[in-house]
Amino acid sequence: MAKDKHRVSIKLSLELRQQLKTYKASRGKRSLAAAAEEILATHFHLTQLPTQQAATNGSIERIATLEARVTYLSEQLEALKQAIATNQAHDSAPKPNVIHPASSPVSMSEDDDDDDMYDEPDEILYNFLEPGVQP
């Protein structure tokens, strides 16, 4: 396997070198070259880190769950569209003419006493009292 590998030399800033050392220690790599190789392989999607592999597996499960939800919601949406269409068809059907008492016109005959319209409220109440009783 060592014969398949080629040497590459690069110059790193002090900050990048320190980050590479930190990565090497966190991954338990034996050399900076092995840490750099893993970083490059991961970057170019040649290999996946264990956390990425678990994330991919979790993503596949999550996508399947979301697809099932979308299917369920699509079915509900179709049922709702049908219910609305049925309701609109029912609402557009001709309705019988019904006259409500509150909406019927009130006719005033000319015989009505116009003074009754202008009576004060207390005068109207006096008409309901028994004769001889003072309020």
Q: What is the pLDDT of residues 2-45, one digit of tens each?
A: 678 888 899 999 999 999 999 999 989 999 999 998 888 888 87
- Residue 62, pLDDT > 90, answer no
For the chain, which residues make up each domain, given as ranges?
A: 9-47, 48-90
| pLDDT given for residue 65 in this prediction | 85
Distance between CA 22 and CA 35 in Å, rounded?
10
The tens digit of pLDDT for each residue in 73-92 reads 999 999 999 988 888 877 77
Angstrom distances, CA of residue 81 to CA of 5, 25, 126, 128, 130: 63, 59, 62, 60, 66
First-last CA distance in the chain: 118
pTM for this model (two decimals): 0.35
Residue with the bigger pLDDT between 25 and 53: it is 25
